[in-house]
Structure 1
Amino acid sequence: MQRPRERTIDLTSDTVTRPSPGMYEAMVTAELGDEQKGTDPTVNALCDRVAELLGKEAAVFLPSGVMCNTIAILVQCRPGEEVLTSSCAHLLTMECAAPSAIAGVTVRGIEASGGIFSADDILRTIPWTRKRNVPNPTLISIENTCNRGGGSVWPMGHIWEIRQIAVDRGIAMHMDGARLLNASVASGVLPSEYSAPFDTVWIDLSKGLGCPVGAVLAGSSALIENAWVWKHRLGGAMRQAGVLAAAGLYALVHNIERLEEDHKNARKLAAGLGRLNGVRSKWGEPETNIVFLDVSGTAIPAAAIGERLLASGIHIGVESEFELRAITHLDVSEADIDTAVLGFEEVLKR
């Protein structure tokens, strides 16, 4: 007999979080203006705060991370040019081909374990000499942490080696930093240190930071001024957006250090489920807050396991025939992890 639950433990993504009472209060009391005209003081404060955090000259508040990636490409590439990134990068696999549909560029994926490619991988990918009949690579994009790589964290040494090649070849650098602050907390590398080798970088507010919506793209003053043009063109101007920006300011004060709790819970979840017959963590012990589970050893399809877990009040992501994904966040407690492990065990027994 199933036990009734008051709520669902949602492990599908860290985008499912709800604003805390303190964040709601900050949003309700935010000072507002017109962000299109540059007169919303709360939006301006958020942009200044993120630019300082990432060590860049300027920043722009945008509705989504997809728009951040797209605009970063638009301000640094021309139609017909090429962007290099991991073959499992969100930019390539999960953004409806926005780079090609909107920016007119091609995106080449580099095969690499955990989504982390090396300088040698770049050298093997780009042409030694400029060819008229080959797309010109003008941007290298790195996703940190790499979602499909199990929340993998980029080593700074790798990044600087790639940066040197980029400088030598006249190629710009972009970081998809949706979970950059997770990488920073896990590695001890400051966000500004991670951002230093990149021409553009952004952070997501609606993932680990727990905001309802939004992302912030940072770079040089010239690039961000051009980004504003594309923000208007793409319909991203939001008027009294201080209501949303206030959530971001609150999160930057209250929700960065606590990301380690999510990482700890992810490790506990992976360890607990890894003790069950037929279940293993695809990427070993999680570095951050993402756990991919290989359930092929159970001979039960992932979709079936997902349905049974949901009936027990546990929501988990189904990625493929025998792969599940769980992401920990501020609305999942350590006690929830214990409950999820027990629920998973019961489902497999049934």
Structure 2
Amino acid sequence: MASMSMRRRTFLKSVTAPAVGLALTTRLQGQAAQAEQARRVLLTGDGLGLGPLEYCRLLERTAGSEGFRRDSYLHGGPVEALEQRFAAILGKEAALFLPTGTLANHLAVRVLAGERRKVLVQADSHFYRDEGDCGQLLSGLNLVPLGAGRATLGLEEVTQAVAQAAGPPYPAPVGALSIESPVRRLKGQVFDFAEMKKVCAYARQQQIGLHLDGARMFLASAYTGVSPAEYSAPFDAVYVSLYKYFNAPFGAILAGPATLMERVSTLRHQFGSLIYQGWETAAVALHYLEGFGDRYAAAARHGESFLRLLEADRRFRVERVEDGSNVFGFALSSGGTLDAMRDRLAESGIFLGAAKGSTETTIQINETITRRPPDEIARAFGAAV
């Protein structure tokens, strides 16, 4: 019996020792990966670039919290909490979760325009250029583009467009005005706020519905000093993206009067977008929404210090967008390709979004810029040339 017991202990040691070693190795590897992640700087995109494992860890913590309950067909749970939070931040009566920003823009403008289906838009706006003509094809809207190559529409050109639409011989009055700010296609250029208020005041006098595509509005606030609530105030409906910098896997918020949100809610169902549950994306957005304003203000300051260091280095050329926000042009002063530099930066954990063979790209400032001191990032650029 003693011999059998000894053999059993020996066998157990031989089995458990490698298993313990493997578990320890896996744990250390995981810790090393997290440490590396904590220093990764993304100079492309508006958010943190979360991966599947990061989403899973965050959702596990959220779902395991006391009192957590999921939504059912977008009612209750984190979805309802997110809607209420955004309505309060934006100063609107109600808010509604939608799966995409394209749907948010489309349904808001559709409802605001009503039977007056002519809609004024910026020529470079997402609604006009990047949404597959959904408003025209699915809602019979007639989008009239203004102001090509710039974010700001002047009061005079809007007044002229409205008068022309309502004039003889065949009047077709404008029913809605949609404004995007910042404008993605114009490297984050922001609509001038003073002119925005004038245009909106005139449109309201003409009983024209007002929609703000504020997908990146919270980013703009750090550069303009205009709060999201101030940006939202002149508009009937306001859309904010949940995935760009609130890091959710998908989703959008549309805010406005309760009656407007009720009508959009009905259309959401009719357009096949009343999904069974949205707690996963709402929980992530809620997590990153709290304290975002302060965190991103710090990121903008951090980014400005870094960009000034690049501008002081004659090997680099930085382009600042007039009335810009978090997007900056970047190139080598020599005019050479960025391939080798991009690859060397990636080896040091700094990621520049330059396509293969390109001689210029953009630097986008997001929260990851605060993971390292500005001078350290600038030195890495210098070493990578």
Alignment TM class, shorter chain as reference: 0.7 to 0.9
TM-score norm. by structure 1 comes to 0.81
The answer to whether the aligner puts 1:262 opposite 2:271 as a matched pair is no
Q: Are residues 221 and 276 of structure 1, via their aligned partners in 2, closer, same or farther at CA, if it must alter by over 3 Å?
A: same
SS in 1 for 2:361: strand
Deviation of residue 31 (structure 1)?
A: 1.3
Alignment of 1:170-209 (within 5 A): 170-209=207-246
SS in 2 for 1:35: coil
The answer to whether the aligner puts 1:305 opposite 2:353 as a matched pair is no
Q: Are residues 243 and 321 of structure 1, via their aligned partners in 2, closer, same or farther at CA, if it must alter by over 3 Å?
A: closer
The percent of aligned pairs where both chains have the same amino acid is 23
Q: Hey, what does 1:231 align to over in structure 2?
A: 268
The aligned amino acid for 1:305 is L
The answer to whether the aligner puts 1:123 opposite 2:130 as a matched pair is no
The aligned amino acid for 1:201 is V
Flag as ranges the 4+ runs of structure 1 deviating above 6 A.
none
Cα displacement string for residues 185-225 of structure 1 (whole angstroms, at most 9, x for unaligned residues): 43333322221110100211212223332211011112111
Measure the CA separation in 1 of the matches of 2:339 and 2:236: 41
Alignment of 1:288-327 (within 5 A): 288-293=325-330, 295=331, 298-300=334-336, 304-305=337-338, 309-310=342-343, 312-313=345-346, 314-316=351-353, 323-327=360-364
Alignment of 1:1-350 (within 5 A): 9-15=41-47, 17-18=49-50, 25-26=61-62, 29=65, 30-36=68-74, 38=75, 40-77=76-113, 81-111=117-147, 114-128=150-164, 129-131=166-168, 133=170, 136-274=173-311, 275-277=313-315, 279-283=317-321, 288-293=325-330, 295=331, 298-300=334-336, 304-305=337-338, 309-310=342-343, 312-313=345-346, 314-316=351-353, 323-333=360-370, 335=372, 341-342=378-379, 344-345=381-382, 349=385
Point out where structure 1 has 5 or more consecutive residues left out of the alignment: 1-5
Q: Is the 8 A contact 1:210 1:330 kept in 2?
A: no
Measure the CA separation in 2 of the matches of 1:322 and 1:136: 46
User: Larger relative contact order (C-alpha < 8 A, sep ≥ 6)?
Assistant: 1
Q: Are residues 282 and 93 of structure 1, via their aligned partners in 2, closer, same or farther at CA, if it must alter by over 3 Å?
A: farther
Cα displacement string for residues 306-325 of structure 1 (whole angstroms, at most 9, x for unaligned residues): 57514641231559976522
Point out where structure 2 has 5 or more consecutive residues left out of the alignment: 1-35
TM-score norm. by structure 2 comes to 0.75
Q: Are residues 278 and 330 of structure 1, via their aligned partners in 2, closer, same or farther at CA, if it must alter by over 3 Å?
A: closer
Measure the CA separation in 2 of the matches of 1:234 and 1:307: 47
Greater fraction helix? 2
Task: Tell me which structure has the larger Cα radius of gyration.
Answer: 2
SS in 2 for 1:192: helix
SS in 1 for 2:290: helix
Q: Is the 8 A contact 2:115 2:175 kept in 1?
A: no
The aligned amino acid for 2:42 is D
Deviation of residue 60 (structure 1)?
A: 0.7
SS in 2 for 1:174: strand
Q: Is the 8 A contact 1:182 1:259 kept in 2?
A: yes
The aligned amino acid for 1:335 is R
Deviation of residue 326 (structure 1)?
A: 2.2
Report the RMSD for the aligned CA atoms in angstroms: 3.3
Q: Is the 8 A contact 1:176 1:202 kept in 2?
A: yes
Cα displacement string for residues 133-191 of structure 1 (whole angstroms, at most 9, x for unaligned residues): 57542221222223334434444322220012202322111111112222334333332
